[in-house]
Amino acid sequence: MEYRKIKDEDEDRDPVVEDVEKSFSLSGAVQDNNLTSGGETKIDSHRTKAKWKRKSVVTLALTILTSSQAILIVWSKRAGKYEYSVTTANFLVETLKCAISLVALGRIWKREGVNEDNRLTTTLDEVIVYPIPAALYLVKNLLQYYIFAYVDAPGYQILKNLNIISTGVLYRIMLKRRLSEIQWAAFVLLTAGCTTAQLNSNSDHVLQTPFQGWVMAIVMALLSGFAGVYTEAIIKKRPSRNINVQNFWLYVFGMCFNSVAMLVQDFDAVMNKGFFHGYSFITVLMIFNHALSGIAVSMVMKYADNIVKVYSTSVAMLLTAVVSVFLFGFHLSLAFFLGTVVVSVAIYLHSAGKIQR
Amino acid sequence: MEYRKIKDEDEDRDPVVEDVEKSFSLSGAVQDNNLTSGGETKIDSHRTKAKWKRKSVVTLALTILTSSQAILIVWSKRAGKYEYSVTTANFLVETLKCAISLVALGRIWKREGVNEDNRLTTTLDEVIVYPIPAALYLVKNLLQYYIFAYVDAPGYQILKNLNIISTGVLYRIMLKRRLSEIQWAAFVLLTAGCTTAQLNSNSDHVLQTPFQGWVMAIVMALLSGFAGVYTEAIIKKRPSRNINVQNFWLYVFGMCFNSVAMLVQDFDAVMNKGFFHGYSFITVLMIFNHALSGIAVSMVMKYADNIVKVYSTSVAMLLTAVVSVFLFGFHLSLAFFLGTVVVSVAIYLHSAGKIQR
C-alpha cells in the first residue's frame, strides 16, 4: 500500500521545513548537511519553534471550533426541531470548504505564482485515493441509522468512544507510527476518561446492548478510525503539496457524495419546499462552523496527526460541558469531574511519554 | 524530627539486607564493597529476588485479607444488625494481634536466641513514639461519628478516597521519599479510578456536602494518612529491629486506647450483658480477619511502604466488588468497569514510572 511510504518518516520531521531544506540544497548554496554550525542550530531552533507554533494554532482552532459546534447543536435543539433538510446543509458545508480552499489558493498564487506544489491540476495517480475517506464516512453515516435499532442515543454517545481506541490502533498499524508504552496507557485513559465524563444514571443500559449492536459499534469505530487515518496518509504522502489543493480535492468528492445522498433522501422535499427551506440564522452559523472545523481537521492532519486530533476533540467535549453550565444552566456531575481529571492526566502522560529520538 | 533520619535511605535498599551486609563487614571477612565479583553479583541477585518475593507475599496477603474483610462485613450486615459491642471486638482484635506477635517472637527466640534486635524489653526513647498512631486513629474514629451529620454513608465512602491523596502527600513530605512525575500521575489516577468505581446514581449528592463536611473529610484524610506514614516511620527507623517486637509495642498501646474507648462507650452494656454478648461465628471470623489484616499492614510498612499499601487496598476494593457478584448477586456498573481500567493503568504506570537509580 502506498501510504506505507511515510512509515519511516520521522514523527518530528516537518514536511514544509524539509522542502525548505531541499530547495536550499537545490539552489546550490555551499552547505554541508552534516555541519552543525552555530547559525544552523539557530535556524533549527527557529524552525522547531515555528513548527510548534503552527501545530498549536491548528490544534487550538480545532478544539474551539469543535466545542462551539456542540454548543450550536444544543442551542439549535433548544430552539426547536430541525426544519431544514440535513443533506442540503451537509452539501453546503462541503461547498463552503471548497470555496474557502480556492480563495486561500488564489491568495497564494498571487503571492508565490503557480508552481508544482500549489497548482490545482493533478494526476489520476494523485487524485484516485481522494474519494475513499468520503466514501467511508458515507458508509458510516448510513450504518448510524441502523445502530439505533439496538442502542439508544445516550448509549450511542458512549459507544462512540470506541473511536478513540480504533484510531490509535489503526494509526499504529496503517501509518506505522510508534507510540510509547506510556502513550498507549494515556490513550486507554483518554477513552476511559471521556466515557466516565459522559456517565449518567442511565449509562448502565449500554451494558445490555445486544451482540449485533456491539458489532455495529465496533465496525463504525473502525470505519471512522480508518477514514481519519487514511486522510492523514493521503495528506502526508506528498508533504510539499499545498494543503489547500489537497483539501480542494477531498471536498470536491465530499460534494459529489453528499449530492447523491441529497438526491436519494431529500429530492422531494427540496423540489417542493425549496433548497433553503427551514434555514435559520443558527443553521447558517452551524454550516460555517462545520466548514471551518473540517478545514481545521485537515490542518491538524497535515501539521500534527490523528492522535492530536483525538485529544483535541476530547478536550472540546469537556469544554462544551463546562461552557454549557454557564450558557444553559447544565449541572456538572461527579463523574464529569472524575473523567476530566483522568483526561487531563492522559494529556500530561501523552506528552511526558514522548519517545526520545 | 527523628523520622527524618531515614530520608536519604535508598528506596530500593532493604533494611534486613543492609543488616546482613553490616554483620558481614563486622565479621572482618576480606570484602571490598566496591568490588563486583561474579559471586557478589549472584548474591545480589539472590537478595533482590528474596526481597521481591517477601514484598509480594505480604502485599498479596494484605490484598486478600482486606477484600475478605469487606466481604465479611457485607455478610454480617445481611445476617442482621451488629448485636455485639463494637469496642469489645476492637479490643479483642488488638489483643489477638499482641498474642500472635508474642507467639511469633517465641519461635524466633527458640531458633535464634534472644538478641539486641529481637528482645522485648525496650528503652523509653524507642517506645515513646508507639502510642502516637493509635491515638491518631482514635481521634479519627471519634470524628467519624460527627461527619455523618454532614454526609451520608455512601458519600462518606467516596470522600474516604481523599485518604489516597493525603497518604501520597504526607509520604513525600514526612518520609522525604520521592515519587517520579509518572508515579504522581498514577496516584492521581488511583484516586480518580477508585472513586469512579464507587459511583452510583446517588453519588452526585456528595457535591452538595457543606463546607464543614469537606473540612472534616480533609482533616480525617490527613489524620489517617499521617497515622499510616508515622507508623512506617517508626517501623523503618530501626530497620534491624524485629518486626514482631515493633508490632507488640504498637498493639499494646492499641489495647490501651481501645480499653478506654470500651469503658467510656460500652461500660453498661458489658457489665449488664457480658463481654461476649451477641457474638456469633461471623463475629469471631471478623476479629481474626481484622487481626491478620492489621499484621499484614505492619509487614507491608516494614518490607514495602504506604504507597504499596494504598495500591493493595484499592485492588482489594475492586476484588471485593467482583467477588460480591458471585457471592451476593451484585451487579457491576459501567462506572465500576471504567474505574477498574483506570486503576489498572495506574498500577502499570506506578511500576513503569519507577525512578531509575
Torsion of CA B258, B263, B265, B269, to 10 degrees: 120
The sign of the torsion formed by the CA atoms of B73, B76, B80, B81 equals negative
Identify which of A158, A188, A196 has the shortest CB distance to residue B196: A196
Contact criterion met (CB < 8 Å) for A334 and B207: yes
Say whether A204 and B334 touch across the interface (CB within 8 A).
yes
Q: Measured between CA atoms, how close is A165 to chain B, in angstroms?
A: 14
pLDDT at position A262 over 70:
yes
| CA distance, residue A337 to nearest chain B CA (Å) | 9
- Model confidence band, residue A73 (pLDDT cutoffs 50, 70, 90): confident
- Across the interface, which of A188, A207, A334 has its CB nearest the CB of B345? A188
Q: Do B158 and A334 touch (CB under 8 A)?
A: yes
**To 10 degrees, what angle do helices B334-352 and B306-328 make?**
150
Q: What is the pLDDT of residue B348?
A: 96
User: Which residue do the cell numbers 485492588 mark?
Assistant: B315
Q: What would the pLDDT profile of B177-214 be if each residue is shown by its tens digit?
A: 888 999 999 999 999 999 999 998 878 888 888 888 88
Quick check: B32 and B285 in contact, CB under 8 A?
Answer: no
Of A203, A341, A349, the CB nearest to B192: A341
Q: What's the pLDDT score for residue A78?
A: 64
Q: Which of B181, B199, B349 sits opposite A334 (nearest CB)?
A: B199
Interface mutation vs chain A, best among B151, B189, B191, B207, most A CBs within 10 Å: B189
Q: Please count the CA atoms within 13 angstroms of the CA of B265 that sit on its side-chain side.
A: 18
**Is the distance from CB of B330 to CB of B321 less than 8 angstroms?**
yes
B345, B350, B351, B355: which to substitute to probe chain A, counting the most A Cβ within 10 Å? B345
| pLDDT interval class at B225 (50, 70, 90) | very high
In A274-305, where does DSSP find H-type helix?
Answer: 281-303
Residue of B190, B349, B351, B354 to mutate, testing the A interface (most A Cβ within 10 Å of its Cβ): B349
Rounded Cα distance between A296 and A57, Å, is: 10
Nearest residue of B to residue A341, measured between CA atoms: B192
Smallest Cα–Cα separation from B304: which of B42, B63, B20, B24? B63
Residues 93-112 of B with CB under 8 A from A: none
Residue A201 at interface with chain B, using a CB cutoff of 8 Å:
yes
Is A221:A240 a contact under the CB 8 Å cutoff?
Answer: no
Q: Report phi then psi at B148, rounded to 5.
A: -70, -10
How many angstroms separate the CA atoms of A275 and A258, rounded? Answer: 14
Q: Hey, are the CB atoms on A349 and B158 less than 8 Å from each other?
A: no
Mean of all residue pLDDT scores within chain A:
83
Which cell numbers in the block locate residue A15?
Answer: 514536511
Answer whether B348 touches A (CB < 8 Å). Answer: yes
Question: Scanning the structure block, which residue is given the C-alpha cell 519511516?
Answer: A8
Strand ranges, E, within chain A:
none
Whether the pLDDT of residue A101 is over 90: the answer is yes
pLDDT over threshold 60, residue B6: no
- The answer to whether B297 and B309 are in contact (CB under 8 A) is yes
Does pLDDT of B158 surpass 90?
A: no
Interface residue B204 vs chain A (CB under 8 A): yes
What's the whole-number mean pLDDT along residues A143-170? 86
pLDDT at residue number A356: 63
> CA dihedral in degrees (A153, A154, A156, A162; nearest 10)?
160
User: How far off is chain B from A333, nearest CA to CA, in Å?
Assistant: 6
How many degrees, rounded to 5, is the angle at CA B298 between CA B297 and CA B300? 65
The yes-or-no verdict on residue B23 having pLDDT over 50 is no
Contact B82/B219 with Cβ under 8 angstroms?
A: no
Residue A246 has pLDDT above 60, yes or no: yes
Nearby residues of B16 by Cβ (< 8 Å), 6 or more positions away? B239, B240
Give the residue from B89, B101, B69, B85 showing the smallest Cα distance to B251. B101
The answer, yes or no, to whether residue B261 has pLDDT greater than 90, is: no
Nearest-angstrom CA–CA distance, A78 and A330: 13
- Chain A CB contacts of B196 under 8 Å are 196, 335, 338-339, 342
Q: How is A299-351 classified by DSSP, letter by letter?
A: HHHHHS-HHHHHHHHHHHHHHHHHHHHHHH-----HHHHHHHHHHHHHHHHHH
Q: How many CB atoms lie within 10 A of CB A116?
A: 8
**Which chain B residues are within 8 Å of A341, Cβ to Cβ?**
188, 192
Is pLDDT at B13 greater than 50 in this prediction? no
Nearest chain B residue to A348 by CA: give it: B185
A314 in Cβ contact with A326 (< 8 Å): no
Burial A327-346 (b: 16+ CB within 10 A, else e): eeeeebbbbbebbbbbbbbb
Residue of chain A minimizing CA distance to B182? A349
Chain A residues near residue B341 by CB distance under 8 angstroms: 188, 192
Q: Which residues contact A347 (CB under 8 A, 6 or more apart)?
A: A186, A190, A311, A315
Instruction: Summarize the confidence of residues B299-303 as an average pLDDT.
Output: 93
Q: Kindly report the CA angle at A334 between A221 and B222, in degrees rounded to 5?
A: 125
Chain-centre distance of CA B132, in angstroms?
15
Q: What is the pLDDT of residue B79?
A: 64
Give A187 to chain B, closest Cα distance, Å. 10
pLDDT for B122: 85
Q: What pLDDT score does A82 carry?
A: 63
pLDDT of residue B46: 83
Mutation pick from B341, B344, B356 vs chain A, by most beta carbons of A within 10 Å, is B341
